[in-house]
Structure 1
């Protein structure tokens, strides 16, 4: 019973975290797009495309976690890997300024952002392991 409680708590925490960042990005879409544009990695219409693609990915992951948990965990893990690779590329090419995720995360320096993303990847990895191999 205790293992299921930890699993459920972490899954709920993940859904709340993704929902929080998703809602903040949607409510301040202009700021989110500006942060993407400021990197210089994308220009013109590509900024809009990348921003909306990120929102679609995040929203889809939230829905999958709620309604198709197993697929949602895998999709969320892949999404977080992509987001983490993105910030690493920005950092190593000296394009990273601040985190543009919104809410309390907005403005985080790279190392804090990397730490949070890494922790989320570890949590999702644990949830995937428990879901597929731990008899949850």
Structure 2
């Protein structure tokens, strides 16, 4: 019974892992395809000037692609890096909300236009899911 439970957990962790890769690929490609919109949303927060938003937009896209590459080649390190990046994004949107600068999500794609509470819920779910995935896959590697 314990082995079956563990196999189910490992399958769920692998699914989460694949979802995370697809999610970050999707967000990076969407931001790249709608770069002007992404920059405009950054400037609308009042945190960035247009010039800084120009550089920062590329930095975010490169960072997301970098995380995907790390995820593909170093699963556990990639999951921790992903968790850290989502935590930083969560702190960023929470700061914006606290200061009254958060209007709607400017991430792009299906998340674009999301209210703060839903964006926060999604980010917290991603953080928890990536930690769960890390722990299960770490347990699997330690048992080999």
In the superposition, the TM-score normalised over structure 1's length comes to 0.94
Q: What CA distance in whole angstroms lies between the structure 1 residues aligned with 2:13 and 2:27?
A: 21
1:46 aligns with 2:52: yes
Which stretches of structure 1, 4 residues or longer, exceed 4 Å deviation after superposition? Answer: none
Q: What CA distance in whole angstroms lies between the structure 2 residues aligned with 1:86 and 1:117?
A: 11
Q: What CA distance in whole angstroms lies between the structure 1 residues aligned with 2:78 and 2:115?
A: 28
Structure 1: give runs of 5+ residues left out of the alignment.
none
The alpha-carbon deviation at position 74 of structure 1 amounts to 1.2
Match of 2:63 among 57, 73, 88: 57
RMSD: 1.1
**Count of residue correspondences:** 135
Partner of 1:80: 86
Say which one has the larger Rg: 2
Contact 2:10 2:136 in 1 (8 A): no
Partner of 2:132: 126
Partner of 1:135: 140
- Partner deviation per Cα, 1:17-40 (whole Å, 9 max, x = no partner): 111111111110100010000001
Q: 1:28-47 residue pairs with structure 2 within 5 A?
A: 28-47=34-53
Q: What CA distance in whole angstroms lies between the structure 1 residues aligned with 2:9 and 2:121?
A: 25
- Partner deviation per Cα, 1:24-78 (whole Å, 9 max, x = no partner): 1111010001000000101132111221111111111111111111221111011
Partner of 2:30: 24
Q: What CA distance in whole angstroms lies between the structure 2 residues aligned with 1:90 and 1:50?
A: 16
Structure 2: give runs of 5+ residues left out of the alignment.
1-6
Contact 2:76 2:137 in 1 (8 A): yes
